[in-house]
Structures are given as structure tokens and as C-alpha cells.
Amino acid sequence: MDHVDFITDQWAQERPDLDVSAMAIIGRVARLYLAYQEGMQVTFGRFGLNAAKFDVLATLRRSGAPYRLSPGALLSATMVASGTMTNRIARLEADGLVLRQVNPGDSRSFLIELSPEGLALIDQVVEEHVATQERLLAGMSQVERSSFKTLLSRALVAVNQA
């Protein structure tokens, strides 16, 4: 029995007329999210990063050489607000992890590129990040992970259609 069972059992006692099975699922997803974030933040913190900075660096890194994107492409890839992205870029630039370059195709805009220091850092951090994620899922078999991944994907599709 986990904490979500405790909560849903209380609702079952107090309001037996309500079907709280959805609450049990969403509550567990929320608690998992928080637990996963906490575990991953420890890894990011060891490198002087947080999840937001990691997200931008990782997005640039996985975009492929020359590890450069427009702010608009970064916005699309990370799904944050424009002002939020501007602040993230400014902080990473101040840290020397990204460079702001004039766009050679349009001098009115600019591109964000991993600096050599940023590239070296994200390559190191992503290895630790993957190891952390493996530790967080260590209690699940490969079959369970595969089923869980499929069910989570279906849940995301369902919520986007709702």
C-alpha cells in the first residue's frame, strides 16, 4: 500500500459514490514525476545546472553539429514561453556555456550555439543523467519498463485528445 492508496481509501470511506480510480493513476504519476525530478536534480546540481539549463544544453546537443539553433527552434523543442527561454539563454551565456551568434542567413536574428565548454559539459552530464535515470528505474524489469512506456505513451495521447 502506498500513499495514494491511503488517500483513495479515505475517499472510498467518505464518498463511496465517487469512482476515484483516475485519481489513483494521476496521483501516482504526479508523485513519480516529483521523485524522478528530485533524483535528476541531484545529478544536475553536481554540475552546477538545474533542469532548465540542462534542457537547453541537451536540446542543442541532440540537434547535431554544429549544435546551433534559433531561439524559435529552441522554444519549439522545449515548449517554454519566449520570456522564459530568453532568461535561460542569458544565464547560459553568462556561464559561458552557449554563444549568441548573428544568423548568417538573416542578420536581424541570431542563433544559439553550444560553446566548447558547454559541449564538454553536456556530454559529461548526459552520461550521468542517463545513469541516474537507470537507477531510478532499477526496480523494474525490462518487460515492466516496456509495458510502462507503452501505457504512458497511450496516456499522453489520451490526455492530448481530451
Residues 53 and 131 in one domain: yes
Domain that holds residue 102: 48-136
Instruction: Report which DSSP code applies to 50.
Output: -
Same domain assignment for residues 56 and 107 = yes
Provide the 10 A C-beta neighbour count for residue 95.
16
pLDDT, position 129: 97
Please write the tens of the pLDDT for every residue from 86-119: 899 999 999 999 999 998 888 888 999 999 999 9
Helix (H) or strand (E) holding 113: strand 110-114
Tens digit of pLDDT for each residue in 54-86? 999 999 999 999 999 998 899 989 878 888 888
The type of residue at 122 is I
CB-neighbour burial class of residue 49 (10 A; exposed 0-12, middle 13-18, buried 19+): buried
Neighbouring-strand partners of residue 100: 112
- Backbone torsions φ then ψ of 157, nearest 5 degrees: -60, -45
Q: Are residues 38 and 81 in the same domain?
A: no
Give Dmax (Cα) for the chain: 66
Is 16 among the domain residues?
yes
